[in-house]
Chain A
Amino acid sequence: MKNTAVTVKKMLRPGWGSSATLAVASVVLSLAALCVCSFLAGASPLKVMTALFEGALRGRYALVTTLSEWVAMTLCGLAVLIPYRAGFFNVGGQGQLEVGAIAAAAVALSLTAPRPLVVLVALLAAVAAGILVVSVPLVLRLRRGASEVTTTIMMNFACVQFMYAMVTGPLKDPESWYGTTPAVPEMCRLPSFPPGTEIPVGTWVAVLITVGAAWLMSSTVFGLHLRAVGGNRPAAVAAGIPAERVFTKAVLMGAALAGLAGGLQLLGYTFRVAEGWSKSWGMVGIPIALLGGNPLGVLVVGLLFAILETGSRSMQALTGVPAALIYLFQGLPVLIYLGLRASAWYSRWARAAR
């Protein structure tokens, strides 16, 4: 009995272990809160949960939608996580994603070349656009010390307006009565893989990138440098680490992933950029990164968030509980997580476990 207690305590030691525990606890608590809310809304919590998960996972169409959401959420989570580890809080994922999608659309609509080439160039353009967008806050931070939280948020507004300008102006579909680009031609769209399964190829890209990021963070010199710079910059500098270079690379990497997410969503899922075309993937990336804590965690939390996003429709249709409740859920786990973390109860427990 006592041994079990010791083992459990060891498993819950502060560090990765306990952060993960806290994340799981806050997700579970939030799901419980969701149940309570749906009960208050007059529906049976069990039915709500069933509708939610069935709506996201049952049936080919639902699954494909969930996977597509997963791609964007995971990449946007990484777009927050990687710079965050180096000490840059990238709140501008949404803007990077929007402009990335516009860039990809511009390429896909204008370039006539073999399919792999068009797709490749479009995605590269998306990546470049993401980097371009973040370079403003980055330079302001490096040269002037401006807080990136403010500047990246401001860039979001600029980017969304830029997207509007594009879809109502130069890139507007002449046949449409509202602001949208034409649909990208069939031949430029992303295929599914393996062929015939309808699994978007973006899913594999996202998984590969996540695994690559996890490896990069934990097993390379760059990853170690990055964590050192984010953990304690003066100490990293004193140890001879080129802090500014590492920091810059991490930020550009994050923004590139957000841009890529925009490109992938366009070519694999929405096929158009339009007014209100995207969900707030870039923003949801923030709670996903905070709860995930590391690249693989982002992959898992991203999947959960994608399930909730997709399932919310059928939840509303089947039980009458408003789908908007899901957005409440997206914020709630982070609040609970931070609340738990800050609580005296947790710090006592962490000390005891040490």
Chain B
Amino acid sequence: MQADSAVAVSMRGICKSFGTVQALDGVDMDISAGEIRALVGENGAGKTTLMTILYGMYRPDAGRMTVWGRRTGRDWSPRQAIKARIGMLHQHFSLIPNHTVLENVLMPQLGWTHMRPRWHHHRAVLEGLCREYGFSFPLEARVESLSVGQQQQVEILKLLYQGARLLILDEPTAVLTPQQTERLLELLLRLRDQGHSVVLITHKLNEAFAVADSITVLRKGRHVATVPRKDSDPREIAFMMVDREWSATPDWELEAPEPGPLLEVKDLVVGDEHQRPAVDRVSLVVRARELVGVAGVAGNGQTELAEALVGIRRTRGGRIVIAGQDATSWTITRRLRAGLRFIPEDRHRHGMVGELSLAENLVIDRCDSPPFSVRGVLRRPVIRQAAAEAVERYGIQAPSPETPMMNLSGGNQQRAVLARALAGSPRVIVAHQPTRGLDFAATEYVRAQLVRCAAQGVGVLVFSSELEELMLLCHRILVMYRGRFIGELSRDEFDAGTIGLLMTGQVPDGGRRDGQGTRNLGQPA
């Protein structure tokens, strides 16, 4: 009954919102049996949300779904999805590291009544599957001893053993090396040839174009288009991914930067949690009065670069120079004193202490020096005064400066983070996703403050996954891909299509691709 229905899954008018954020807004999607569908879009476009709804983990606010020709009920759940032969490979593996492959694969199917599983029988079947798909790990191996690529194969084996005919893979190549990626894509083709359907969530267009039969583009929770691969090209898809409505040249008055470099980064290498180089010999220069943007799909080394610059993360090579002084080995405090300020990507993690009051949060990085303290004793009146001024100047809405920071709204928390970063005399500001999660007014406000700062002689480095923001704010935009800058555009060259293409790793034809690779990008000519 399943094989002969050409449409595996049909989703109609799917809506889903989280709080005030509309993650999906009436999305339609059909998946045929035996096709590979690439689901592409920027961060926050709703790709994962849409697929987790299909998998039953979220319940849609509106819309209906048909799976193998049958309407799903209100009680649609992962359990039912698995029964309906849908399997999902999540970004984070759900494996038990100190269990063997065999145990991990079997576990979801064993009930508490299975006192003595028929290991031999299962092992024989699984060995057959492994041969068929070319998995090379022993079934007795503990999962923790396998490479990341092999662990992913274990996950896929688990799905296949559960009988999945439709496999959803959420950014499967994010954790893989290029060779492993190659093998995964080959595996997907083989699965397709055997009649499986595959949904490949990705924002890497080269992968989508390597294997997909058709490509669905989401943008800001809406379905933009579904096109067969052969009728399209990466450039067209990149255009669809970024905001097409945005076309006018930015009309922000930006002052001309001063010539000398204020922040200089040379051949910086930064490792990620697994000691892989997340930032790979990156160089850049930020001058006084200059706003430099770093664009890129999240996870291409931006977080590591920003954290290394402010001193939270260790560097493995290269140099950081602040106003002519080598700051590579400086402590965070010393960098702060030198005027390097940070607006972190995740303010809850790096920007604020929720239990402390607003006033305390505003001075926490400088409370150990006058005028805020004398010989280790806080001067409450001075701190209160400074807080009152910041509240006034940055329009922070709070019942009082003594209110715990966690009781403020997100926008006001971000204003406080901004107020702290801009207090004193900043010289270089590293702003990482400074407007993420903010409403319209707060976004406008933060952007205006950054531009104002630059006009006063500060160098600003903005990391953002929103192209529109960077194109509005910056003198120059550097595009980061896999830990390197693969493109640089000055303000008169800004073009959403080109940048979007660069973000997915494609260097456009006729673009500025010099023979010596990408290392010299980031520095003004």
Is A221 a contact of B349 with CB atoms below 8 Å?
no
Chain A residue nearest to B372 (CB atoms) is A221
**Chain A 220-247 interface mask (CB, 8 Å, partner B; 1/0):** 1111110110011011111111100000
B368 at the interface (CB under 8 A from A): yes
**Chain B 401-425 interface mask (CB, 8 Å, partner A; 1/0):** 0001001000000000000000000
From A222, A231, A237, give the contact of B312 (CB < 8 A): A237
Is A238 a contact of B310 with CB atoms below 8 Å?
yes
Is B352 a contact of A235 with CB atoms below 8 Å?
yes
User: A219-B377, A234-B349, A235-B352 are known contacts. Are A14 and B364 too (CB-CB below 8 A)?
Assistant: no
Q: Which residues of B contact A228 (CB under 8 A)?
A: 353, 356, 360, 364
Is B364 a contact of A221 with CB atoms below 8 Å?
no
A354 at the interface (CB under 8 A from B): yes
Q: Which residues of A contact B336 (CB under 8 A)?
A: 239-240
Is B364 a contact of A220 with CB atoms below 8 Å?
no
Shortest A242–chain B CB gap in Å is 8
B380 at the interface (CB under 8 A from A): yes
A114 at the interface (CB under 8 A from B): no
Is B377 a contact of A220 with CB atoms below 8 Å?
yes
Q: Which residues of A contact B433 (CB under 8 A)?
A: none
Shortest B313–chain A CB gap in Å is 11
Is A227 a contact of B344 with CB atoms below 8 Å?
no
User: A235-B349, A239-B365, A240-B365 are known contacts. Are A219 and B312 too (CB-CB below 8 A)?
Assistant: no
Q: Which residues of B contact A195 (CB under 8 A)?
A: none
Q: Of residues A14, A227, A235, A241, which shows the largest number of chain B Cβ atoms within 10 Å of its Cβ?
A: A235
A59 at the interface (CB under 8 A from B): no
- Interface size for A (C-beta < 8 A) is 23
A196 at the interface (CB under 8 A from B): no
Complex-state Cα separation, A232 to B352, whole angstroms: 8
Is B351 a contact of A235 with CB atoms below 8 Å?
yes
Chain A residue nearest to B378 (CB atoms) is A219
Q: Which residues of B contact A240 (CB under 8 A)?
A: 331-333, 336, 365
Is B377 a contact of A241 with CB atoms below 8 Å?
no
- Interface size for B (C-beta < 8 A) is 29
Shortest B273–chain A CB gap in Å is 14
B342 at the interface (CB under 8 A from A): yes
Shortest B412–chain A CB gap in Å is 13
**Chain A 141-157 interface mask (CB, 8 Å, partner B; 1/0):** 00000000000000000
Complex-state Cα separation, A216 to B377, whole angstroms: 9
Q: Which residues of B contact A14 (CB under 8 A)?
A: 404, 407
Q: Which residues of B contact A235 (CB under 8 A)?
A: 349-353
Chain A residue nearest to B360 (CB atoms) is A224
Is B378 a contact of A232 with CB atoms below 8 Å?
no
B178 at the interface (CB under 8 A from A): no
Q: Of residues B353, B367, B373, which shows the largest number of chain A Cβ atoms within 10 Å of its Cβ?
A: B353
Q: Which residues of A contact B364 (CB under 8 A)?
A: 224, 228, 236, 239, 241
Q: Which residues of B contact A224 (CB under 8 A)?
A: 356, 360, 364, 367, 378
Q: Which residues of B contact A354 (CB under 8 A)?
A: 407
Complex-state Cα separation, A231 to B378, whole angstroms: 19
A15 at the interface (CB under 8 A from B): yes
Chain B residue nearest to A222 (CB atoms) is B376
Chain A residue nearest to B368 (CB atoms) is A221
**Chain B 349-385 interface mask (CB, 8 Å, partner A; 1/0):** 1111111100010001101100001001110100000
Q: Which residues in chain A, 73-116, are within 8 Å of chain B measured between CB atoms?
A: none
Chain A residue nearest to B335 (CB atoms) is A240
Is A238 a contact of B378 with CB atoms below 8 Å?
no
Is B380 a contact of A238 with CB atoms below 8 Å?
no
Q: Which residues of A contact B353 (CB under 8 A)?
A: 227-228, 231-232, 235-236
Is A237 a contact of B332 with CB atoms below 8 Å?
yes
Chain B residue nearest to A10 (CB atoms) is B399
Q: Which residues of A contact B360 (CB under 8 A)?
A: 224, 227-228
Shortest A44–chain B CB gap in Å is 44
Q: Which residues of A contact B349 (CB under 8 A)?
A: 232, 234-235
Shortest B312–chain A CB gap in Å is 6
Q: Which residues in chain A, 1-44, are within 8 Å of chain B measured between CB atoms?
A: 14-15
Complex-state Cα separation, A222 to B376, whole angstroms: 7
Is B380 a contact of A219 with CB atoms below 8 Å?
yes
**Chain A 45-84 interface mask (CB, 8 Å, partner B; 1/0):** 0000000000000000000000000000000000000000
Is B404 a contact of A221 with CB atoms below 8 Å?
no
Complex-state Cα separation, A345 to B466, whole angstroms: 41
Shortest A231–chain B CB gap in Å is 4
Complex-state Cα separation, A219 to B373, whole angstroms: 9
User: A14-B407, A219-B378, A240-B365 are known contacts. Are A234 and B333 too (CB-CB below 8 A)?
Assistant: no
Complex-state Cα separation, A219 to B375, whole angstroms: 12
Other contacts beyond A227-B360, A235-B353, A240-B331: 12, CB < 8 A: A15-B407, A220-B373, A221-B376, A221-B378, A224-B378, A227-B356, A228-B356, A231-B355, A232-B355, A235-B352, A238-B342, A239-B336
* A residues apposed to B, CB below 8 Å: 14-15, 219-225, 227-228, 231-232, 234-242, 354
Q: List 20 A-B contacts (CB under 8 A).
A: A14-B407, A15-B404, A221-B368, A221-B373, A221-B378, A223-B378, A224-B356, A224-B367, A225-B367, A227-B355, A228-B356, A232-B348, A234-B349, A235-B350, A235-B353, A236-B353, A237-B312, A239-B364, A240-B365, A242-B333
Instruction: Rank and list the top 7 A-B pairs by shortest CB-CB distance, nearest first.
Output: A240-B333, A239-B365, A231-B353, A231-B355, A240-B332, A232-B353, A238-B350
